[in-house]
Amino acid sequence: MTERIVVGAALLDGGRLLAARRSAPEELAGRWELPGGKVEPGEAPEVALVRELREELGVDAEVIERLPGEWPLKPPYVLQVWTTRLLPGSGDPEPLQDHDALRWLGAGELWDVDWLDPDVPAVEEVAGRLRS
């Protein structure tokens, strides 16, 4: 089975990270994640991430850099995470698809939400960057 990539956005704004609460599927509902989604065949991960943020949150974002590592999801998927930022004039993110709430978290608030397990290592990486 060929590995498929799911992209996640560590969307940063003024020292804060955006968390998105899942509304579906039932086994994930109520837990928090970095927004993003599946890379379509032939699509570059960075392009997929920009598309997913537009679809899920209604915003335009710039991809900055990929965080080191990748994390297993339900086979055949793996999670890769990029730091991103909103483009000027993009507006405020809204939970349009797959989420029922969004929350900006400062460095001291990152663990106030119940992150999905695969997102935890990426959030830990971002936490180190926000502290420094």
Given this model, what pLDDT does residue 83 score? 97
> Is the four-CA dihedral 124, 48, 24, 104 of positive or negative sign?
positive
Q: What is the CATH number of the domain that holds 65?
A: 3.90.79.10
Which residues fall within 8 angstroms of residue 59, CB to CB, at 6 or more apart? 53, 86, 87, 90, 91, 92, 93
Tokens of 123: 């959030």
Return averaged pLDDT per consecutive 10 residues of the chain, 132 residues in all: 93 96 94 97 97 97 96 95 96 94 96 97 93 79
What is the per-residue pLDDT for 130? Answer: 86
pLDDT of residue 132: 75
Beta-strand pair 77-86/36-38: unpaired
Quote the pLDDT of residue 36: 97
> Which pLDDT belongs to residue 131?
83
Domain span at residue 123 reads 4-131
pLDDT number for residue 54: 96
Task: Give the chain's domain count.
Answer: 1
Distance of CA 77 to the CA centre of its chain: 15
* pLDDT at 80 (0 to 100): 97
Q: What is the pLDDT of residue 58?
A: 97
